[in-house]
Amino acid sequence: MMDESERAVQAAIDGEMELLDPDVRASPARVLELLDPEFTEIGASGRRWDVESILTVTSGGSVAPESSVKVSEMSGNVLAPGIVHLTYFADNQGRRAWRSSLWRLTASGWRMYFHQATLTG
């Protein structure tokens, strides 16, 4: 049986994996359910993103089904009640990055609040 912290981390991991799924990313309604209204991201390119800019890119048909991301070394920690920090390594067709995200529990469930990616060699 999982304790509360383990359930929180697992919920964040499940949400993270959904957001990496090309089918989910192509669904603006589902992306909106997973991203916090105050979401921000600092992408691997250095660009700053928010919910609106993410939806513009993902709903524009730019996410190809064959562009699945390979994830490894996923780990998470509860930083405070209702706040989970995830880190993992992602390989998106040779574009490799360490990723970090913060998830927070809201009235509508776990939502990604912040994300950052740093390219690696």
Largest Cα separation within the chain, whole Å, is 42
Using the structure block, give the residue that is written with the tokens 């304790």: 3
Q: Which residues are within 8 A (CB) of 96 and not within 5 positions of it... i.e. 6 or more apart? A: 89, 90, 119, 120, 121
Q: What is the pLDDT of residue 29?
A: 94
pTM of the model: 0.90
Q: What is the pLDDT of residue 64?
A: 56
Please classify residue 117 by burial: count the beta carbons closer than 10 Å to its beta carbon, then call 0-12 exposed, 13-18 middle and 19+ buried. buried
Render each residue's pLDDT in the chain as its tens digit; 121 residues.
769 999 999 999 999 999 999 899 889 999 999 999 999 999 988 999 999 999 988 776 555 556 678 999 999 999 999 999 999 999 988 889 999 999 999 999 999 999 999 999 7
